[in-house]
Amino acid sequence: MPTYCAYTDLQYLTGSTLSQTILEAIITQAETKLDRLLAEKGLTGSGGNATLKAAALEFSMVGLYERYRLDGTQPGSVSVGDLSMSSNVDQAIALHNAEGLRLLDAYVATAASASTEDAEETVTRQDHQMESLHLDQAVVNEYHDRATEYGTEDDEVN
């Protein structure tokens, strides 16, 4: 499995104070999801791709928000006396997940375009090879015709 981002990327992006071990576990889960989604499209990822790095970070932020929601760091609402505050963690999770999927779709579209260009290049190369074979066959046919015309046809040439 390629590594798309480092724990420091997530740490610097979010300001998280969680340990390297915890951030790496969150990233591993996000990258596993990313690899699974790519595999469903018949693709594999490259750790050096900026779009996949951004998608991995978005999915990592989903994992980070889920962690915060589960451990109480970022609850949906807090009430202290008459003061009440709320944050929509679920909305943040949905937004980061949607952005990760949008980035994945962009990567898939680019990969599909590149694949189409590769296929077209292969067809063009094969067309040139066929033209070359036709030219070679034309030379053989011309030799055969002239040899027949002059009565010097070699039995091995057809």
What confidence tens digit (pLDDT) does each residue in 70-99 have? 888 876 666 677 776 667 888 999 999 999
| Burial bucket for residue 113 (CB in 10 Å: 0-12, 13-18, 19+) | exposed
**Alpha carbon distance 66, 94 (integer Å):** 11
Cα separations in angstroms, 142 against 42, 130, 150, 153, 157: 48, 18, 12, 11, 11
pLDDT at position 36: 96
What's this model's pTM, rounded to 2 decimal places?
0.67
pLDDT at residue 158 in the model: 46
Show pLDDT as tens, one digit a residue, over the chain (158 residues): 679 999 999 999 999 999 999 999 999 999 999 999 999 999 999 888 999 999 999 999 999 999 998 888 876 666 677 776 667 888 999 999 999 999 999 999 998 877 555 545 555 555 555 555 555 666 556 655 665 666 554 555 44
